[in-house]
Amino acid sequence: MTRRLAGEIVVGLVLVSLVAWGVNVALERLVTPRIATGPDAAAASTPGQVPHITATLYYSTPDGEALIPVVREVPLAEGPVAQGRAIVAAQLEPATAQISVIPPGTTLRAFFLTERGDAFVDLSREVSTNHPGGTSAELLTISAIVNAVTTNVPTVQRVQILIDGKEADTLAGHVDLRRPMQKDLSLVRDEVQ
């Protein structure tokens, strides 16, 4: 074999390898499915850089008897599904200046919408196992989540809460979770802050 030929073979191999690597990277980017995680929006670094929307979230009144609507900044997301997810994630976060009605450790596992305008909010099991119990406390928790979605995501009429990926009989023994629920402001006191 001549040196010339050997050189060309080497060049050829190098070129082929470069093309292969480039194609590999490009295909990986195209094919990797986007996994829906919960509070990915909240991981945004500086608030100034990520666009936000103002949303109404629900927290406990100081006397613990009702809910109050509180206006907060929630990261902007594209489309009702992503925005709904961001809203629920924000509602689930423990808030420093507010009293949360969400049991500690509750995370959002999934959020999806049907074309009928029903949202499904899949929460981790802490929402049930860490709940203090009691009909009134359950109603406040559910009301906060249902209202957060229906108030801020206009296309959503009803919300069904799932626990750990499954339909649940009740949240913590009292309230029936087996069907989607509508916005209910009966437990909300009118003081938007």
Partner 1 sequence: MEPLRATATSTIALSLLLLAALLRAQGAPPAATPAIPLMLISRDARRPVPTTIVGGQELVALDDIATLLGVSLREDAAAGGITVTYRTRSIALSPDQAMASVAGRVVALPSPVRRNGRRWLVPLDFLTRALAPIYDQKIDLRRASRLLILGELRVPRVVGRIDATGPPTRATIEITPPAGVTSSVEAGRILLRLDVEALDMALQLGSAGLIDQIRAGDQPNTLAIFLNSRSGTPRVVTSSTADLTRVVIDVPAPNAPLDAAAPSTSVAPPAAAASTSAAATAAAARSVLPPPRTGLQTIVIDPGHGGTDVGARGAAGTEEKAITLEVARRLRTLIESRLGIRVILTRDDDRAVTPDERAALANNRKADLFLSLHANAASSPTVAGAEVFHLLLDREGEDARRRAEADAVSLPVVGGTARAIEAIRWDLAQASHVEVSAMLAGLLVDELGAHVPMGPRPRQQAPLRVLVGANMPAALIEMAYLTNPEQEKALQSDDFQSLLAQSIFDAITRYRATLEGSLQ
Q: Which residues bind partner 1 (CB under 8 A)?
A: 4-5, 8-9, 11-12, 15-16, 19-20, 23-24, 27-28, 31, 33, 35-36, 60, 62-66, 79-81, 99, 101, 110, 112-116, 118, 120, 132-137, 139-140, 160, 162, 165-167, 169-170, 173-176, 178-181
* CB of residue 39 to partner 1, shortest distance in Å: 19
The answer to whether the beta carbons of residues 156 and 80 sit under 8 Å apart is: yes
Between 47 and 133, name the residue whose CB sits nearer to partner 1. Answer: 133
* CB of residue 107 to partner 1, shortest distance in Å: 17
Place of tokens 């945004």: 44
* CB of residue 128 to partner 1, shortest distance in Å: 11
Between 60 and 152, name the residue whose CB sits nearer to partner 1. Answer: 60
Between 52 and 109, name the residue whose CB sits nearer to partner 1. Answer: 109
Instruction: Please tell me whether residue 26 adopts helix, strand or coil conformation.
Output: helix
* CB of residue 181 to partner 1, shortest distance in Å: 7
Between 139 and 149, name the residue whose CB sits nearer to partner 1. Answer: 139
* CA–CA dist 131, 144 (Å, integer): 14
From residue 55, alpha-carbon distances to 35, 74, 81, 132 in Å are 25, 6, 15, 27
Q: Give the count of beta carbons closer than 10 Å to the beta carbon of residue 155.
A: 14
Q: For 131, left (φ over 0), alpha (ψ -120 to 50), or beta?
A: beta
